[in-house]
A and B are shown apart, each in its own frame.
Chain A
Amino acid sequence: MPVSPLSPEALRRRDLPAELQFETTEELEDLEGPLGQARAAEALRLAVTLRSDGYNAYVMGPPGAGKHDLVARTLARAGLEAPTPSDWCYLNDFAEPRRPRAVELPAGRAAELRKDMDRLVDELRAAIPAAFESSDYRTRTQLLEKQLEEAREHAIEEIRRRAEARSVALLRTPMGFGFAPVKDGSVLDPDAFRALPEEAQQRFQRDIAELQAALQETLRAMPELERRHRERVKETNREVAMYAAGHLLDDLRRRYADLPAVLAHLDAVRQDVVENVHEFLTGSADDDAAATMRKLLNQTPALRRYGVNVMVDHAGRSGAPVVYEDLPNLANLAGRVEHHAHFGTLVTDFTLIRPGALHGANGGFLVLDARKLLVQPFAWEELKRALRAREIRIEPPERLFGIGATASLEPQPIPLDVKVVLVGDRWLWQVLSAYDPDFPQLFKVEADFEDWIPRSPQSERDFARLAATLARRDGAPPLERAAVARLLHEASRLAGDAARLTADVAAVRDLVREAGHAAATAGRSRTTGEDVRAAVHAQQRRAGRLREAVREEIRRGTLVVETSGARVGQLNGLSVVTLGRHGFGQPSRISARVRMGKGEVVDLEREVELGGPIHSKGVLILGGFLGARYARESPLSLSASLVFEQSYGGVEGDSASLAELCALLSAIAEVPLRQGVAVTGSVDQLGRVQAVGGVSDKVEGFFEVCRARGLDGAQGVLVPASNVSHLVLRDEALAAMAEGRFRVWAVETVDEAMEVLSGLPAGAVDADGRFPAGSVNARVSARLERFAERARAFAAAGAAPEGDGGRRG
């Protein structure tokens, strides 16, 4: 029973479900969440609600499926329901400035504290100099100065008096103090001294030695005198500073009475202000360069170290944060310590600690692109470390290298409670799962997006709402019912299956945009079915340079593709050329030649290393099929060669194996095949035809070539029966089929294929293992027997077997 062509009815575009009534998508509600991704959505919900360690999520799936969209929606909703996390800030540790203190504050209070501390510094800068300018302070310090001076002078005066009592003068010289004998108020000159009686000279000498010793004693006591003086001045300064600063700090203490960490800090600030009060007093009256320089050098630390470095400010926020870090390098992730140039050196302090995405997302959610994360040095390791240790530690990269020798800050780590969502490719997930033992522990939830969605009334309704949502979101005109139907058709076409819809929402969105643009340009307020068709056509045209170039070469005969008549050992196979998101079907001439030989089927593509392994496997299967069916009891004395004519690139895949087998059988049986029928499909060793990919493109590819030459009504494509449900053909091909000018045959076996191609019965084997006379199989069998007999004859004559030379195979 010969195979009949498929009825065009079976391939007709499916309409929208009848119960889905609408005129334009304006009447439809938005689709919440991505289309048909219940599995991924459920996984993501688990990740956000289960607060245990390691329940971070890896979201994966095909591009354009709406992964980021689903993540953003799910996290935004979860964020709203979660409590608002605390603010965090870094404060100076006055005892150990290298280790700034991390302080947690209720949401909104970190910025408040910063403002308060800035104001405090401003007020201190006014209040402290004012207190120190007061006449009271000046009187006190002048008194202290005077006391010191008097004490010094008194001590020297005492020596002078003792000297005078012994007729010795105390001389103050540039070299120091000297003692000299005097007479009548003048220092004795050496001659006069020598003229004195010996006893007097010795007495002077003795007295002067004693006086020098006493003076030395006095001078040695001076530092202690000065130290005590400095102590008194300092004490006075402390008192005055306390007077000036005390009430300002008390005021702050009252405001932050509920926060012990802040109170402790304020106590430390009070202590530090009192100890370093001079920093508030610099440069009040000086105006020269040196004073300005001193001011600059001194003012900066004074201003900075009482400040507050707010790392996280949740003022005005309700709920937990959701942070997406587009450039997840180490610094952007975990924060960094910056430096600035200060008089030629790079310096840093706690105010230069900058937060990273982990700080911002702490208490909430952090979304990262897996690939971007993994290409950044240290970023992935640091993220894992932070998640494991549950703390954010800011380390300079050189320390991670283990070569850091420069003194830098070691900010106190901040406790971390964050849910991380990685968005990435499936293969990356597989690589991480296989090679990083930490990964499965830290990212327990996989949210895997579907590649396609089964087509059902429910999914079609959702799809219509998706179209409505996309149009609304992009400001495109609403789609008419026909436009949605056509869009659905395209979604199936993109899925490569009439029973499915693509999960590539981005591709659908592009179509809605482009069709909407066409409608708007034409001044229409609705997107019609024709707009969608035109948009699809335009997309194909944009991507169609190569397709048209190939068609042109076929039309001109440069690429030989016969679409009419019949030939022995030649057939049109079909392949798909994929360029980016678009592909097209292309017919290729497959030829087979046979001769007597040792039972081998030579795949010329493989011989010249143009054939891939799957293609080679397909060809080897042919040998298996031939031997098992036709030469079970005798040697297969055949040598056959198969080739893709005019193929200059690689051939891969087994979708041409049915065509190759048919060409081979034609060559063996010397049965001509219809050149107007192209073939796609793979075969097994039993001769059963199996499904292949890209059937719609292949059918349309051959249809286009035939149409360009004029359809003669005998042309068509032979596809595996198991591929029929994958056929989603465009209007032109369907119309030609409806008019009987083009056909599609669905075959299950190579015999069915041969019958369509040769017009002869294939012939079933009888109980004696013979095929009916005149059938294709009988001719194949007879030819192979002839080869075997001749081979035996050659063997008997002791000659080596020879091919049948110029004879046509």
Chain B
Amino acid sequence: MAERDPGFRRIVVGLDASPASLDALAAAALLAGRLRTDLAGLFVEDEDLLRLAGLPFAGVVRVPSGVREGIDRPRAEAELRALAAQAREALERAASAQRVACTFRVARGGVVAEVLAAAEEADLLVVGAGGHRRSGTARAGDTARAAAARARSSVLVLRRGGRLGDPIVAVDDGTPGAARAAAVARALSGEPGPTLVEAPAGDPGAVAAVLARLRPALVVVPAGGRYGSGSALDAILSAGAAALLVR
């Protein structure tokens, strides 16, 4: 990747210790290493889960076994703490490998709200696409979807197994953000540079066909445009690429 500046000074990565979030962490650490910036990790203790655990008949159905288990608040908190410790450890390992400084924060609240709040102070928010879903594929989860739509920062979404690297495609949807997306794509791309794809209005299938042909590792799109939507995000993830929504 060229050492040109995409303007990401502070990178926040959402961690929940799921496989997709670990891939997101790897990508975030790589980027931080390249850009010589700090890396901030965020683990959210899901308030809804803690409430659920406090109910008298609380229980969870384990995936994929389908086994039902009772749960109470202390146990839920313990499990969350264990996950947070795992996430922290992974973050420190990744940061150390890239020789960058890192901070780790545990927040309690709604996952989406906390992630969006963290994005307020960041230039780039990196999240996994699927959370604790069974398959690491295709569709973006609620958090990724909300971040893509509402975060103040740029958002990088990785599906499980996703990686940063070439080839990179920048989508020009004709919106004002397209130029910035193309510049970021150029900054992240190695030789011979990113492929610029024009997205004609009214033909959502056109870009999907191009992605199927080019099989990019990363697709950079302007966040506010047509390709910042949830379905466009799914299309990019379905093509096996990571999505970077630039703001």
Contact = CB atoms under 8 A, between A and B. Distances in A.
B60 interface: yes
Contacts of A209: 57
A219 B55 contact: no
B54 A173 contact: no
Interface in B185-242: 212-213, 238
B132 A189 contact: no
Nearest to B63: A176
Contacts, number: 109
Interface residues of B, number: 42
A178 B79 contact: no
A189 B62 CA distance: 22
A174 B132 contact: yes
What DSSP secondary structure best describes chain A's contact surface? helix
Interface string B133-151: 1110111010000000000
Contacts of A169: 48
A135 interface: yes
A137 to B, nearest CB: 11
Nearest to B131: A172
B138 A146 contact: yes
B80 interface: yes
Contacts of B79: 174-175
Contact of A189 (B54, B66, B133): B54
B6 to A, nearest CB: 25
A176 B61 CA distance: 5
Interface in A108-167: 135, 138-139, 142, 145-146, 148-149, 152-153
Interface string B40-69: 000000111101101111111111111111
B63 A177 contact: yes
B133 A172 contact: yes
B83 A219 contact: no
| Of listed B52, B60, B69, residue having the most chain A CB within 10 A | B52
Given A142-B238, A180-B55, A174 B18 contact: yes
A179 B80 CA distance: 18
Contact of B46 (A173, A189, A212, A220): A173
Given A180-B55, A190-B55, A173 B60 contact: yes
B31 interface: no
Given A174-B17, A177-B61, A212-B59, A220 B66 contact: yes
B52 A222 contact: no
A174 B139 CA distance: 18
Contacts of A186: 48
A205 B57 contact: yes
B76 interface: yes
A190 B212 CA distance: 49
Given A174-B79, A175-B71, A177-B60, A187 B51 contact: yes
A209 B70 CA distance: 12
B114 interface: no
B48 to A, nearest CB: 4
Contacts of A173: 46, 49, 52, 60, 132
A314 to B, nearest CB: 51
B65 to A, nearest CB: 8
B16 A174 contact: yes
A178 B57 contact: no
Contact of A171 (B16, B48, B69): B48
9 contacts: A146-B138, A172-B131, A173-B132, A174-B79, A176-B63, A180-B58, A189-B54, A194-B56, A205-B57
Given A176-B60, A178-B61, A205-B57, 15 more contacts: A146-B238, A152-B134, A174-B18, A175-B60, A176-B62, A176-B63, A176-B69, A177-B63, A180-B55, A208-B57, A208-B59, A215-B61, A216-B68, A219-B66, A222-B64
